[in-house]
Structure 1
């Protein structure tokens, strides 16, 4: 390879790296025209699926997902070769990827009124994927979850992966708690997958489940989904392709409405506060908003009971995206 070509390749890699770093660190304070937008985007060597398009301070951006790894990112539109599609065309184009297989599985499990969607990750591994919900609450963040997992895992797994289901209202009410979480991530103590948990998380103490939470008549799903993503981006958070229904309540029509946005519903097979015991590969649910100390206490006891296995790397926390990717990689 001649020196001029080598210099060109190194410069290209450097510019690409700097470009991606700048996008990764962006806080989009002036988002306009935020909307679903689907298609294929390519920048050598990777194909991406476009999920959203928006503008910020005169520039156009995409929210994209790597359909093989389920990793998302935002980036400037001009950086890509693009083919626009509708959602059906885009899903068909990427139909053999883990991302689309996970969407199809969620749709097959859409009939249940509670806990529809993906419920477990890697069944072959000893360990769990931890999800903590941040529903609207007047109580402060239960920080024990995050300090304790870091304490237990820092010698064998750092940063420690955790998935947080966040609502728009919680972000608005708890800016200092949100900043504390962002600092833990910035220090590489934890690695957060941000799950959309709706904006308002409305709940009625009287209404039956089939008319409660997001099934409440008059609910604007477009607002509940997109306003939460916008709030994430404005706060410097990266939306994932995952969504958790408030109360884990949905119906088949709502599931299909959700997947039309390219989002995968995440349930649980181990809601600790309800006494459900985690198995290998479980997606564990606790609440980190201060409203469910029982579940947090149970999780801390679980960590303590597994301390020996954690030290030997025989019981680990798994990144939710990697769990789903590995479950569906190579499957039909």
Structure 2
């Protein structure tokens, strides 16, 4: 009986770790890694390590599905720790192919990274940005989504790009977002930097291109804050303002992160098409984009009811794009 209880307990802990529902309040020694880890017969890419209460953990990426998980170091072994060997072993994987896709647009001032339609089927990839704001979360986005898909889809995947300054000032809204998991809303948590620096400067010296911006700090401090709040950082990264340059993109890749742009920023008048990566802001500062999205939902109501229009997660379709 005791063995059964221990097994059940371990199973529940593993499930919670996979879903990012465990808060690592005492997180220490957070660092970047580039490892191939072995878990049973599966290979994972270790991109971060940290300790909490003297136990070591890894933030890992499945190179085929791009799903991230937190795993304890006792459940894995290090297969490769040489950077060149790790990169070589990933050759032909979906993860490695995404690096190649991102590099095709890395010289863009705006919208570098994944900025094309995927998968090219009936539906969209919804990304909701939470930049720093004194206004409350625009909950209507999520409530209208749940109403539109009620009784049709039990799982609604979407991505939320969250900034550190937003998390620090919106504890109740963040708790509400996390509670949506029980209602079937499956959130991919995307790093949107800690400070989300924004000035009145031209784009070439704004956002992440602002003077004295420390990208390592912006990335890693936000990941730490996400983990402390029970969020599982994904492999995706959303540049503030979609602004970057080659140096930024290459540094993100060195952290194992895939930049996500958008081909349909609704507030800018860009139209959502099948497979579009749609961008709206849920921080209360972009009412036009939110209303455009709600109108889009209404125009697709019949297609939703007949299951001819749906939501996709960001990782869907990348396996086809990469070959």
Shift of 1:322: 2.2
Query: Which of 38, 54, 60 is the equivalent residue of 1:58?
Result: 54
Partner of residue 189, structure 2? 194
Q: Which deviations, in whole Å up to 9, do the C-alpha atoms of 1:64-111 show, x marking residues without a partner?
A: 011100110101111112134254432321121111111211012111
Count of aligned pairs between the two proteins: 319
Partner of residue 113, structure 1? 109
User: Where in structure 1 do 4 or more consecutive aligned residues deviate above 6 Å?
Assistant: 10-16
Unaligned regions of 5+ residues in structure 1, if any?
A: 1-7
State whether residues 119 and 316 of structure 2, in contact with CA within 8 Å, keep that contact through their aligned partners in structure 1.
no
Residue 304 in structure 1 maps to residue 320 in structure 2: no
| Distance change in 2, residues 1:318/1:85 (3 Å) | same
State whether residues 70 and 325 of structure 1, in contact with CA within 8 Å, keep that contact through their aligned partners in structure 2.
no
Taking the aligned partners of 2:150 and 2:41, their CA distance within structure 1 comes to 34
Q: Which deviations, in whole Å up to 9, do the C-alpha atoms of 1:249-270 show, x marking residues without a partner?
A: 0011111011000000000000
Partner of residue 124, structure 1? 120
Shift of 1:12: 11
Shift of 1:120: 2.9
SS across alignment from 2:221: helix
Partner of residue 26, structure 1? 22
Partner of residue 79, structure 1? 75
Which shifted more, 295-304 or 69-78?
69-78
Shift of 1:276: 0.2
Structural RMSD (CA)? 1.9
Partner of residue 4, structure 1? none
Taking the aligned partners of 1:299 and 1:99, their CA distance within structure 2 comes to 30
Matches within 5 A, 1:249-328: 249-328=243-322
Taking the aligned partners of 1:160 and 1:166, their CA distance within structure 2 comes to 18
Partner of residue 209, structure 2? 215
State whether residues 121 and 324 of structure 1, in contact with CA within 8 Å, keep that contact through their aligned partners in structure 2.
no
Q: Which deviations, in whole Å up to 9, do the C-alpha atoms of 1:241-299 show, x marking residues without a partner?
A: 00010000001111101100000000000000000001111000000000001000000
Unaligned regions of 5+ residues in structure 2, if any?
A: none
Matches within 5 A, 1:123-202: 123-185=119-181, 187-202=182-197
Query: Which of 220, 224, 228 is the equivalent residue of 2:222?
Result: 228
TM-score normalised per structure 2: 0.94
